[in-house]
Structures are given as structure tokens and as C-alpha cells.
A and B are shown apart, each in its own frame.
Chain A
Amino acid sequence: MMRKMNGSRRMSFVFRWVALLLAVGGAAKATTLARMSVAQMSHAAQAIVRARCVENSAGWDAGEIWTFTSFQVQEAWQGSVSGRIRVRLLGGRVGNLTSSVSGVPRFRSGEEVVLFLERTPRDDFSIVSWEQGTFRIRREAATDSESVTQDSASFATFDPATRLFEAAGIRNLPMETFRARVYAAMSAETRRKQ
């Protein structure tokens, strides 16, 4: 038999549930991904770029199906990259076969992103920590401003460069603030090496 809740009990239930979600917000560690701060990803990346997705294709290499995404580099924040680059990510569809790997970001033609990139032995790129090293750019038409959101925005990260704890990853951060944070992380890394 179904029973209906009265209004106050219903509201109480809702708020308890929402409170639970908020309470666990700091718990994070990817099943497949190690926690990495912006500084750590900056250190791991050979290139950090702002780029626009051009096209996707898929193909076999080394016993795996890969999705190859071409990006047009708009700005190189780190590394000497320009023009069109190719990023490979696990999974995709070739012929009658589909390879599925959860946690891998996918991109749409025309989409603008900031990517933390590592070179592969094939001289193309992979993304540092997959969705963690992927930041989608959103443009607010009303204010003509841009913000970035990390694909793994639920991820709690501590950034040693800024000594800030991002309880929910990076979400809707103004582009210039994000860029400044990345440059600060790179500068800190340079100083550390010296």
C-alpha cells in the first residue's frame, strides 16, 4: 500500500537528503583517477592549452580503440604547441565494435576547453588524468565573460600553489582567475626547480 507523506514530513525528508549530499561533498577520490591539484597537473603536463575542438575520429592502435580528437590551439599557456593538435583517449567506435571506458572525456566540434596535456609515445597527446585535466569554457552572453568548469568538478582538491582547498573541484571559475591560478602554479614549479 502506498502512503502519502504530509507536507512537513516531506520537507524535512528533502532537507535531510540535501544535507547528506552537502555533508559528503568533501569525500572524493576517483576510482580510476588519483587526486591531483592544478599545481600537480601543471607539473605533470607538457602542455597546457586553450583550444577549440575541430573533429573526432576513432581507430585502432596497440590493441585498443582510441578516439582521436583534433583541437585548434588558441593559446598555449605552457609548452610549445600551436596550430592543430591531436589528442587520443581510450574508447570509441570502429566498424561493428564499440569500446567503452568510463571516465574518459568526450568533446563536441566547436567546443572550447582548457586541457592539461601529456605527450604519448606516438607523438600526439593524452589528457592528464582524463576528466580531471579537462576544463570546459562557458561564455556568458549577457556579460561577455568566460568561466571554466572542471569535468571532475565534484573532486575535492588542494592546490599547494594557492593553499586553497577546492571542496568541489573547479566550477564556474572566471577564466582570468583560473588562468592566474595556473600561471601561479607554473611559476611555483619553476621556482622549485631552481
Chain B
Amino acid sequence: MKSSIAIGVMALLVFALLGGSPAEAYLMDTTVPQAGGCPAFDRWNLSLASPLNRRWSTSLPLGPPTLATVAALGSAAQLSEIEQVITDSFGAWSGVTGTTFNATNYPGLIAPLAQVSAASSCSNDAENNVDGLNTICFNQPSMGFSSGVLAFTRVITADAPGVSVGVSATAAFAGQILDSDTLFRPDGQATFATPAALATSPGAYDLESLLAHEIGHWFGFDHSAVWRALMFPFAPPPGQFLGSRPTAQAPDGPLSDDDRTGIRVLYPDPNDAVNVGAITGRVVPANPFALAAIPAPSSGGSVTGIFGAHVVAVDADTGAVIAGTLGGWSCDPSNFVVQFDGSFDIERLPVGHSYMIYAEPLVGLATPGDFSDALNDLCASDSAAPCTTPAVNTNFNPRIRPAVP
């Protein structure tokens, strides 16, 4: 099968369109297994009988209030209004077809949303006593809230089978997520408005946009360099929102195709016959000596391709960005050594479409600093095959290349 290429990079984009090859690289958080092995995607174990638990703390800041709602402060209606935003934010992700998280095709995987009353329900502040309960908190202080930090999500994963925290399930594989919590800043430096209250709450951030993004982190996503993606690290300014509001017909409205592709990669529906295409390749320099000065990432290893290029698949007919990833590495399961060879792998693309591939340096709207967690996770110093993640290579220039005949 052939495909069109619109941009090569500084040199060579080795490229193939395949059907359903194993994932090697994508913009997810990963964990290196303690016992050695290739970096594994961080994800929930959906083979468990028990569904993914989720709850939120109804303790809300009052001095000053940080949640703007149409309903009166402190009323039951206010809690309902906030809970509807949480439900819709989860619904955006569980509304995507082609994934086992789809609420219609796989009901019951996500537990009903529970309420708790304690303000500090997102951890108990007792050293390493993580509770294994997935919680959203609006009134829990944290030393993580330095000036300007509005909200964050903390995802706890295991690096070996048999590990658990609190009441979490016992991990069956490295990278299994055991606990996810989202904390919104409670001290009044920022205000968050429900969609109904956004227009009348000047200076407030759209709660649904922020929360749907944070829940993407719950599922194992890092940030995306695709501007339109919900997982892009920068959200709309106060008073605005991105994309569409969720509806009964399109609950995944807030998401972009890049977000949808991502959750299909993490949690593929085995019955999905549409989103099974994959594009793989390598981004390498025209002059391989351009890489010679990069320090060796591991004993005996070397950097043989562009690391950290933003590789994007675009629907050739519509111009829509379908998926993007940070390319640059692969891992041979036979020796567990991460190779920084410029590889990329964009999976779960709808078949029957023509795609163009772009590879660009991370010097545009997103920068390497936006993805430091995902990139640094590729190497672990205490694993059987330690390595050091090389610096993201932004020192190359895209240029037009003719399509491969």
C-alpha cells in the first residue's frame, strides 16, 4: 500500500502504511518495568471485574468561593450542577467509539460517580499512604500549588505486577494505573465556572474544558502537541472554551480526532474494524553525522534518528489532523533496550482514508518542556537496561519532499 507524503524532514522519512502493528511510540505516559523491559503505556487494567472507581469531594472553597455556578452557593442544586460537569467530562472520553471505554458498547467499566465530604480526599497527607481511590477535589490545599498553578492531576502507576496502593486493584502489569486524583486550586487565586455560569463569570476558567483535560490524564495521556487537541497543554483563556459542548448525540464533542485516536490506542476495542490502520516510519537526518555529537543514551548505544519530532497524520481530503505523536524511539522486546532511532508509530487510524505525514521540530506552539514527563519516562536508571533520554532534537528544518512513488 502506498501513501502520500507532504513534508519530509531535513532528509528522510522512512514510511509505511500498515494494518494494526504493535505500538512503539505515542504521546502517552510510560513506565519502564522494574524487572526490565520496554517502556509500557500507563493505563488501567480493564480486564478486572471491578469497574474504575471515581468520586468527588463536595467540600467547596467558600472564602472566597472558587466555583461559579448558576445555582446558589451551598445549595444542593449547586452540587448537582458541578456533578453534571464532572459527568459530562467523563462522558466525553467514554463517548468515543472504537475503545473499550465506550459506555454504550462496554457499559459498567466506569463506576457511578460517588460523593465524599472530606476536603482532603485526594490524599490523606500521611507520607506514602495513597488510597487507591480516584478523586476530584476542589478544596484540598497542596504544596504543589505554587503561584499560577490552577489544577493538576497526579497519576500513580506500578512498575511491577503485584503492587497495590490503598484499596486499589493489584497490578497485573508494569504501567498499570492504581490511583488518579485531580486537585483544583482552592485559595481563590482562580475561579472555575460551569458552562451555564461561564458567560456571567468574568475571569473564570471553563471548568468543563479543564476537567475533561485532567481526566485525559487519568486515562494515561500526557500532553499532545496538536493545537486543537483537548490534551494540548494550553487551554482557552478565561471565559472561553474549545471545541463543542457534549450533547446526547455527540458526547465526545469536546475532544479532537487526536484525542479520540489516542484513547483508541490505549484501550482498543477488539471489535473495531474501522480504526485499525497504522503509519510507522523513522525520522532521520540527511547527514547521519549530524547526530554524532549527541551523547550516548546507554552503554554501547547511540542516537541514530531524530528524537522528539512532532509527527502528525492529516486526512488528505479534509485537512483534519487525525493524530500526532512524538517520534524518536523504539524498543526491541528481545533485548529490552530503548533505541533512539527516530521511529514513530501512529496507530488506530480510520482505514479507507489517505493521509499525509508531517514531521516538525518542537519549536512551535508546543515545546519540549511541555512533554518532559513523557519523554523522561522512557528511561529508568534502576531498570535492568538503564539509559538516559537524549535531549529533544529541535535542530532540523522541515522541507518538502516528493511523494514516494
Contacts and interface: CB of A to CB of B under 8 A. Distances in A.
Interface of A: 1-5, 7, 10-11, 13-14, 16-17, 20-21, 24-25, 27-36, 40-41, 44-45, 60-65, 88, 90-91, 93-94, 96-106, 108, 118, 120-122, 126-134, 136, 149-155, 171
Nearest to A98: B157
B377 A62 contact: no
A127 B146 CA distance: 7
A92 B357 CA distance: 34
21 contacts: A2-B2, A3-B4, A13-B356, A24-B227, A27-B237, A29-B205, A31-B209, A31-B233, A34-B189, A62-B125, A93-B382, A96-B158, A96-B160, A98-B31, A102-B222, A103-B233, A106-B372, A136-B369, A150-B369, A152-B233, A171-B363
Contact of B365 (A25, A33, A127, A128): A25
Interface stretch (B84-92, B127-135, B245-253, B259-267): B127-135
Contact of A88 (B2, B143, B148, B156): B143
B129 A63 contact: yes
Contacts of B21: none
A165 to B, nearest CB: 14
B354 A2 contact: yes
Contact of A17 (B127, B237, B319): B319
A65 B147 CA distance: 20
Nearest to B402: A7
Contacts of B210: 31-32
B223 A102 contact: yes
A103 B223 contact: yes
B316 A100 contact: no
B34 interface: yes
Interface string B142-170: 11101111111111111110010100000
A102 B365 contact: no
A40 to B, nearest CB: 8
A36 B125 CA distance: 29
B126 A63 contact: yes
A103 B222 CA distance: 9
B214 interface: yes
B369 A153 contact: yes
Interface of B: 1-4, 6-7, 17, 29, 31, 34, 42, 123-130, 142-144, 146-160, 163, 165, 178, 189-190, 205, 209-210, 213-214, 217, 222-223, 227, 233-238, 314, 316-317, 319, 352, 354, 356, 358, 363-367, 369-370, 372-374, 376-377, 380, 382, 391, 400, 402-403
Contacts of B367: 149, 151-154, 171
Contacts of B143: 61-62, 64, 88, 120-122, 126
A1 B158 CA distance: 43
Contacts of B354: 2-4
Contact of A32 (B126, B142, B151): B151
A48 B124 CA distance: 33
B370 A100 contact: no
Contact of A2 (B4, B126, B364, B374): B4
With a 10 A CB-CB cut-off, give which of A60, A63, A130, A152 has the most chain B CB atoms. A63
Given A10-B6, A128-B148, A129-B148, 14 more contacts: A3-B316, A13-B356, A27-B236, A30-B233, A35-B148, A62-B125, A64-B143, A96-B163, A97-B130, A98-B158, A102-B223, A106-B376, A134-B369, A153-B367
A31 B214 contact: yes
Nearest to A117: B146
A34 B187 CA distance: 14
Nearest to B129: A63
Contacts of B222: 100, 102
Nearest to A62: B125
B373 A100 contact: yes
Given A33-B148, A96-B34, A101-B152, A14 B6 contact: yes
Contacts of B223: 102-103
A157 B160 CA distance: 43
B373 A91 contact: yes
B380 A32 contact: no
A11 B29 contact: no
B369 A29 contact: no
Contacts of A118: 146-147
B380 to A, nearest CB: 7
Contacts of A149: 367
Given A93-B380, A129-B149, A102 B233 contact: yes
B366 A97 contact: no
A154 B125 contact: no
B187 to A, nearest CB: 12
Given A2-B4, A100-B377, A134-B369, A91 B236 contact: no
